Amino acid sequence: MQSLKKLCDQKKIKLTIAVYPGVTQVYNKDLNSLQVKLWKEFSETNKIQFINFFPQFIDQSDNEDTILEKIKIFFIPFDYHFSVYANKLIAKNFVNFFKF
């Protein structure tokens, strides 16, 4: 990532790092996962924009039934990839992040 940051700086390209949860992170309501901590710190240290999509998928007050329903809605069955619905949610929030 340091090499990518350096290349973007040389080419005057603004870099943004985004993180989003996987199935296990949604199931465990892991809002502060290792990925969030690591990339947030890296972004702050290197003055890079950071987007955390975990809160769009995880609510600490959800019970297990709600979590399982979210997993069915957000992920392709028996797969780790997002469903069409989840991709639309990410896209909407991504676009809103960059609106001026």
Q: Report the candidate in 85, 89, 78 with the shortest Cα–Cα distance to residue 23.
A: 78
pLDDT at 30: 97
The whole-angstrom separation of Cα 36 and Cα 57 is 14
pLDDT in tens, the chain (100 residues): 999 999 999 999 999 999 999 999 999 999 999 999 999 999 999 999 999 999 999 999 999 999 999 999 999 999 999 999 999 999 999 998 887 5
Radius of gyration of the chain (CA): 15
pLDDT at 100: 55
pLDDT at 71: 97
Sort 36 into a burial class: Cβ within 10 Å, 0-12 / 13-18 / 19+: buried
The whole-angstrom separation of Cα 40 and Cα 48 is 9
pLDDT at 96: 87
